[in-house]
Chains A and B, each alone.
Chain A
Amino acid sequence: MNIFIQYGLAIYLLPLAAFLIQIFWGRRLPRKGDWVSIGAVLLTLVLSTAMLASLLLDLNPDFHQEASFTWLDLGRFQIRVGFLMDTVTVIMLFVVALISSASHIFSIKYMEGDPAYSRYYAYLSLFTFSMNGIVLSNNLLLLYVSWELVGLSSYLLIGFWYEKPSAALAGMKAFLTNRVGDIGFFIGILLMFTATGSFLYRDMFAGVAAGTIAGTTLTLAGIGLFMGAVGKSSQVPLHIWLPDAMEGPTPVSALMHAATMVAAGVFMMVRFFPILTPDALLVVAYIGGITALFASLIAITQTDIKKVLAYSTVSQLGYMILAVGTGAYVAAFFHLVTHAVFKSNLFYGSGSVIHAMHHGLERTHRHDLDPQDMRNMGGLKAKLPLTYWSMVASTLAIAGIPFFSGFLSKDQILAGTLAFAEHHPVHFLLPVFGFGAALITAFYMTRLIFLTFHQEPRHPEVFAQIQRAPFEMALPLTILGTGSLYVFYTLPSVNPFGGEGWFQRLVEARDSLAGGPAADWMAEQMHHAHLPTMILSIAVALAGLVLGWLMYGSRRISAEALARRFPRLHDLSYHKFYVDELYAKLLYDPLLKLADFVGWLDWDWYDKKIIDGFGRWTTRIARWVGTADYDGLDQGLVDGVGRTLRAVGGGMQRLQTGRIQNYILLATAGVIIILLSQVF
C-alpha cells in the first residue's frame, strides 16, 4: 500500500478510535479524556502536514493515488470503496486537521466545567472522522455514508446543550433541512450508479466521458448531487438551518458551521465539476449568486454576533458555489481554504468575546443580558487586544482587502463571474450578485467590528469585569489570525495581487467532461478579466469599509435614522426576509393540517369505527370460545392428561433414588437386556 494511502487510513481511523474510547470510557479517564481526542486530531494534523509538505516539495498537480477494495460482491456487479489521494484531498485534509485542532484546543477552556465534557470531545472526534471520510472517499457510497455521519455529528453538536429547547430544536432543524437536500443527493447518486454501474468517481468520470450518461439525465444527476451541497452548504432555499445552528458551542460553529462541514458541499462540487453539464452549472451559479447576495443582506441588521457570522458564512458559501457554477472551480476551492481559515478565526474571536462577556455577566449578575448581543458590547478592544487584532485581520480578509487572503480568492471568483457574463451577457446578474455581496460583506463586517470593539461600552459595570482570553483561546486566534495574511497562500511568490503561488500550481483546473467550459479557455478568460475585476473589487470593498466606518465608526450617518426612514427594508432584513415564516405558512401549516386530517381519518374513523367494531365482535366470539375451551377442553381433557401423568410420575419417582450405584445397576441391567435382544 502506498505511503499516502497509509497516512490517509491513519488520518481516517485515528479520530474514530478516539471517538470510541471517549464515548465508552471518556468519563473515567483523567481530565475526562480530552487528551485522547486532542492527541488524535493533533496526530492527524502532523500526518496531513507531512503529506502537504511532500506535495509542496515537487508541486506536481497530477499527483494521484488511489486504493480501493471490493466491499460487496453481488455477482453481476461489485461495489468497490476506497480512498482517493490527490492534491485537492491533501489540501482539504490539512485544512480540516488544522481547523479541527484549533477547535479542540479552543474548547479546552471554552467547554471547561461542562458536565458532558467528554461527550463533547467524543462528538468532535466523530465529526473529524466523518469529515475525513468525505475528503478521502473515492466513491459515492463512502461519500454518502460520511455525508450522513457528518450530518449526524452536526445534529449532536448543535443540540449539545439539549436541555435548552432552542438548541434541541435547532439540531432537529439542521438535520431535517439537510435531509431535504440529501434526498436529491441520493437520487443523483442512484442516477449515476444506474448509468455507470459503479460508485467510483473514476468510473463515473469515464462514463460521462464515454457518453454512457448524457443529456438531461446527466443534468438531472448533476442537479441531484448539487442538492446535497445545497443542504449541507446551506444554500438558498435550504439556508435556514445554519443560523439556527449557532445554538451549538462556538468552537463547533467555528469548526463545522464555518470552515469544514458546510464546505463539504463546495468540496463535493469541486470534485464533481467535470461531470456537470452547462445547464446544471447555470442552476448552480444562480443558486450560489442569489445565496451570496441574499444572506449578506440579512447579515446587515442582525444583532447577535454569531448570527452575523452565520449569515456571512452562508453568503461566502454562496460565493464558492457561484464560482463552481461559472466554471472557476479552482477559485471556489481556493476560497474554501482561505475562508476556512479566516471565518473559523472570526468564530473563535466571537467565541472569545462571548466567553469574556459571559463571565463578565456572571460576575455582575446581569442575567437579563444576552452575552451574544452586540448591542451589549462595545469598547472591547481595550480588554481583548489579541482577539481584536486577530478579528480585524480576518475581517479585512473577508472584506477582500489586498494583502489579505480573502482578496486573492474573492478576486478570482469575481473574475470568473465577470468572464462568464462577458460571454453570456444574458447572465449579467451573476457578477452583480458577486460584487453586490462583496460590498455588503465589507459593510456588515465593519459594523460588527465597530459595534463590538469600538465606541463606548454599553454596560460599563460588565465591561469592568471582562478579562483577557486564556492561552488555549489565544493560541488558535494567533495562528489563524496570522493565517489571514495573503502570503501563506502565494508562497513562494510574494506579489499580493497576482494570486500566483503553491496553491495555483498544486491545484489545476480540469476540463469539463460534460460540455462545460474547458480549463484553458476559462483560465484565459479569467486572466483577461483579472485587472478590471481587481480594481472593481478593491473599490467595492473600500466602499463597504468606508460606509461601515461612516455609520458605525464616526457616526456621520445615523443607522437608526436610516432604519426609521426605510422601516420596510430594515424589517425585511432583520426578519431574514421572512423565509422561516414563509416556510411555516406554505409548508409546515399545510403539512400539519394534512397530518391532522389524516390523523382524524385514522383515529376517529378507522380506529374507532372499524377497528373498535371489529374488536367488539371479536370480544363476543372470544367469550363464547373461552367458555368452551375452559370447561370442556381445560377441565376435562388437559387436566385429565395432567392427572394421569402425575400418577404415573409418582410411581416412577421411586426409581430415582439419587444413588449412583443403583443407576449403575440399572444401566448394567439395561446393557444385558440390549445384548439379549441382539442375540435372540
Chain B
Amino acid sequence: MTHSLSIYLLVAAILFGLGVYAIMTRRNAIAILMGVELVLNAANLNFVAFARFGGMNSSGHVFALFVIVLAAAEAAVALAIIINLYHNLHTINVEEASTLKQ
C-alpha cells in the first residue's frame, strides 16, 4: 500500500479539491489563504510522489522546494495585504472589500 502511486495521487486530489472548495466558499481572507496552502501542498505531494515512483529523482524534490519557497513568500505578502485591509476597512471579509469595483 505504501508502494502504490495511486494512493498518494488520491490524497493529493482530495486535498486539492478541498483547497479549491475553501477558496470558492470562504469569505474570510485568511481562510482563503489556508485553502491556497492546501492546493499548494497537494501539488507538492504530487511532485514528490512522481519523484519517488516516476524516476524524477531529485528534480521533483527541488520543485517541491521551490513551491514551498513560493508559498512562504505568498503567505507573507498575502498576510501583509490582509492586515492592511483590516486596518483600512476593519474587516477581512473579501465580499466587503469592493472599493476597487467600478
A–B direct touch in complex (beta carbons closer than 8 A): yes
Q: Residues of A with Cβ closer than 8 Å to B?
A: 658-661, 664-665, 668
Whether B25 lies near A661 (C-beta < 8 A) is: yes
A665 to B35, CA, bound (A): 14
Report chain A residues within 8 Å CB of B102. Answer: 658
The listed residue (A659, A664, A665) touching B95 by CB distance below 8 A is A659
Smallest CB–CB gap between A520 and chain B, Å?
85
The listed residue (A658, A661, A664, A668) touching B101 by CB distance below 8 A is A658
Query: Beta-carbon contacts of B77-102 to A below 8 Å, as 1s and 0s?
Result: 00000000000000000110010011
User: Known: A659-B95, A660-B94. Is A665-B101 also a contact (CB below 8 A)?
Assistant: no
Report chain B residues within 8 Å CB of A668. Answer: 20, 24
Smallest CB–CB gap between A496 and chain B, Å?
89
Report chain B residues within 8 Å CB of A661. Answer: 23-25, 27, 94
Residue of B nearest to A662 (CB): B24
Q: Chain B contact residues (Cβ within 8 angstroms of A): what range?
A: 10 to 19
Smallest CB–CB gap between A657 and chain B, Å?
9
Report chain B residues within 8 Å CB of A665. Answer: 24
Query: Beta-carbon contacts of B9-33 to A below 8 Å, as 1s and 0s?
Result: 0000000000010011101000000
A661 to B98, CA, bound (A): 13
A122 to B72, CA, bound (A): 59
A658 to B94, CA, bound (A): 11
The listed residue (B20, B27, B98) touching A664 by CB distance below 8 A is B20
3 shortest interchain CB distances as A-B pairs: A658-B101, A665-B24, A664-B24
Smallest CB–CB gap between A103 and chain B, Å?
64
Residue of A nearest to B25 (CB): A661
Secondary structure dominating the interface of B: loop
Most chain B beta-carbon contacts within 10 A, residue among A659, A660, A661, A668: A661
Question: Could you list some 18 contacts between A and B, CB below 8 A?
Answer: A658-B98, A658-B101, A658-B102, A659-B94, A659-B95, A659-B98, A660-B94, A661-B23, A661-B24, A661-B25, A661-B27, A661-B94, A664-B20, A664-B23, A664-B24, A665-B24, A668-B20, A668-B24
Report chain A residues within 8 Å CB of B98. Answer: 658-659
In addition to A659-B95, A664-B23, A668-B24, 9 A-B residue pairs with Cβ atoms within 8 Å of each other are A658-B98, A658-B101, A658-B102, A661-B23, A661-B27, A661-B94, A664-B20, A664-B24, A665-B24
A668 to B25, CA, bound (A): 12
A650 to B101, CA, bound (A): 18
Residue of B nearest to A665 (CB): B24
Report chain A residues within 8 Å CB of B23. Answer: 661, 664
Residue of A nearest to B32 (CB): A661
Residue of B nearest to A671 (CB): B20
Smallest CB–CB gap between B25 and chain A, Å?
7
Smallest CB–CB gap between A528 and chain B, Å?
95
A659 to B97, CA, bound (A): 10
A342 to B98, CA, bound (A): 83
A102 to B15, CA, bound (A): 86
Smallest CB–CB gap between A197 and chain B, Å?
61
Smallest CB–CB gap between B29 and chain A, Å?
11
A659 to B25, CA, bound (A): 11
A670 to B53, CA, bound (A): 31
Smallest CB–CB gap between B96 and chain A, Å?
11
Report chain B residues within 8 Å CB of A660. Answer: 94
A665 to B26, CA, bound (A): 12
Report chain B residues within 8 Å CB of A664. Answer: 20, 23-24
Report chain A residues within 8 Å CB of B94. Answer: 659-661
Residue of A nearest to B26 (CB): A661
A660 to B25, CA, bound (A): 11
Residue of A nearest to B23 (CB): A664
Residue of A nearest to B100 (CB): A658
Report chain A residues within 8 Å CB of B25. Answer: 661
Report chain A residues within 8 Å CB of B20. Answer: 664, 668
